[in-house]
Structure 1
């Protein structure tokens, strides 16, 4: 069984209280930038890797996608997704991202939001996604930025009064597992350099069309004061690629 913290009751309850869990896509700081990377969705067959509550799945159907398959390892996440979905064109499957095995050309678009930094072999996932896409199909993904994942502490350097002085970056070139604390629980994330993400996609047969390191929009900053420090260092890396 791959790492599945979201079926831990205590972790799931804390995650359920986060703004992006209660407010959906509009409460996700990176959503405007992610949405801008998406191609026209009308008539597309969409795969969502790490679909969670199904927010992106439902958005795709709102934009007239033909069908959506949402994959997630957490039964609790999928249960919540099914509760909030009344659409026969959306199918949720309990499956680890690492274990996907779809037919060639089964999808026109694959997306993944903040899930692939939990996967040890990103290169293997890229090859499987490439296989499952039609020629010209797009792969749009977001991960925690390597500047954010380099150190397991994932925290600021503080001054004597507790002020946030700067964000330390060390061990950036040392790729691999990081045991981090997220929502007061130990979670394993996998740190990769920006080059490692890019080269895994290129080596799998993708061409890159866009990179994005978004900041919160003024509207998000006005609504969520805690996002103010997200303008000081990147927290998300977004990549858009297309199958050659």
Structure 2
């Protein structure tokens, strides 16, 4: 059994040290591999809107929204080092944001019924309490506020390449926590591959209605990459990223 605090300690240490410098961030307009806001248009017009990012990283996605006339920028991240980098980046861009270092699962004095949008680009999957996190996010949003998040598609983690054939090496239904050491980076992360139904049911329980789900691969982006790239080959066969847009009832 993996305890939540242990997961938090492992992952926050990783992002505060090696992972912060070596793992390439996924930032808007990209939601992940082969999915972009420019194509999906999930946010629409954000001018004058109050935005909160869960897992704000170095602040580039917050910058993206400010350039589109969002009125307020707020960000939360598990890593003190990421918050420092976001502060430096936004300051260098002449932008201001309210940034909070906290696990997304915990109370951190964010205003309730306040935000027009809460969003997360490849960060929600780190939570150790999905239902609790979605309930907190719902509390931050105004009525009819929008929650948009992306994460690695769970089917992506179930398939490996063996002798030029894609084969299942893991059960889609296995949501247990496991340790992983990313390529070329010292350190260790702890992850859980949740089913899509787990995300959808947790959203419903928190009072959200799903307006749109994206799991298609953008063929225009695929054409820009080497067709022999392993990720490209996989993305032609099944989704590697999913994005959900939900509205608070």
Q: Indicate if the aligned counterparts of 2:35 and 2:241 stay in contact, CA closer than 8 A.
A: no
Task: Out of 48-57 and 32-41, give the one that drifted further.
Answer: 32-41
Alignment match of 2:41 (pick from 36, 40, 45): 36
Aligned length: 231
Q: Kindly report the root-mean-square deviation, in angstroms, between the aligned alpha carbons of the 2 structures.
A: 2.5
Matched residue, 2:56: 51
Structure 2, unpaired ranges of 5+: none
TM-score (norm 2): 0.82
Q: Deviations over 1:9-48 (max 9, x none)?
A: 3x33321xx3x57x97469534514862114211111100
Superposed CA deviations along residues 64-119 of structure 1, whole A, max 9, x for unmatched, are 11101111121222222222213454222211111244232121110001111111
Give the Cα–Cα distance (whole angstroms) in 1 for the partners of residues 192 and 133 of structure 2: 14
**TM-score computed with the length of structure 1 as normaliser:** 0.84
Asked if 1:128 is matched to 2:136, the reply is yes
In structure 1, what is the equivalent of residue 172 of structure 2?
172
For residue 222 of structure 1, what is the aligned residue in structure 2? 224
SS class of match (1:131): helix
- What is the 5 A alignment of 1:147-226? 147-149=155-157, 151=158, 156-159=160-163, 163=164, 165-168=165-168, 170-183=170-183, 184=185, 185-219=187-221, 221-223=223-225, 226=229
- Whether the aligned pair in 1 keeps the contact of 2:28 and 2:37 (CA below 8 Å) is no
Task: Tell me, yes or no, if the aligned pair for 2:51 and 2:115 is still in contact at 8 Å.
Answer: yes
Q: Is the Cα contact below 8 Å between 2:33 and 2:241 reproduced in 1? A: no
Question: For the residues of structure 2 that align with 1:7 and 1:128, how far apart are their CA atoms?
Answer: 24
Partner Cα distance (2:226, 2:89) in 1: 25
Question: Would you say 1:96 and 2:103 are equivalent positions?
Answer: yes
Q: Structure 1: any 5+ residue segments left out of the alignment?
A: none
Residues 204-244 of structure 1, C-alpha deviations (whole Å, 9 max, x = no match): 10010001113144245415663422222211111000001
